Amino acid sequence: MIARRIISIATLLLAITACSKDPAESRVDANPERGKIALTQYACHACHVIPGITGSKVFVGPQLDGVASRPMIAGNLPNNTENLVAWIRHPKRIDPLTAMPDMGVTEEHARDMAAYLSTLK
């Protein structure tokens, strides 16, 4: 009976400790290969021509070749990882008039996408 109580308390303490972890600690580093997959999963290639990703040849959104060497994102944001992640996740918050839809991209997927796009110099 006492052993069961100890196990129950230990399990509860482990669960509490796991839930209180800082989310930044558990974040996996951004990965360009996962980003390439995420760009396909979110159908970014339906509007953008993206080097390394096959898709239709459409010209709704800008081509993304050389995006890593562009000084600005969306015409008004300095090109850095945090801004690119913000733009990918919530473009309408940055430019309410943009044609780019909010695709519900998660933070992790946006970071991976940004990692891939940063390879396109």
* CB under 8 A, 24+ apart: contacts of 34-41: 34/109, 34/112, 34/115, 35/109, 35/111, 35/112, 35/113, 35/114, 35/115, 35/116, 35/117, 36/116, 37/112, 38/105, 38/109, 38/112, 38/113, 38/116, 39/113, 39/116, 41/109
Tell me: pLDDT of 116 over 80.
Answer: yes
Question: Average pLDDT of 12-37?
Answer: 64
At residue 111's C-alpha, the angle toward residues 72 and 52, to 5°, is 75
Tell me: pLDDT of 16 over 50.
Answer: no
Calculate the dihedral angle through the C-alpha atoms of 17, 22, 28, 29, rounding to the nearest 10 degrees.
Answer: -150
Q: Please choose, from the candidates 111, 117, 110, 103, the residue with its C-alpha nearest in 3D space to the C-alpha of residue 46.
A: 103
C-alpha span between 89 and 83 (Å, rounded): 10
Tell me: pLDDT of 21 over 50.
Answer: no
31 versus 60: the higher-pLDDT residue is 31
9 versus 56: the higher-pLDDT residue is 56
Residue 20 in tokens: 């209180």
Tell me: pLDDT of 8 over 60.
Answer: no
Class of domain 31-117 (CATH, top level) = mainly beta
pTM: 0.77
- As a whole number, the mean pLDDT across the chain is 84
Span 53-106, pLDDT tens digits: 988 777 789 999 999 999 999 999 999 999 999 999 999 999 999 999 999 999
Span 60-73, pLDDT tens digits: 899 999 999 999 99
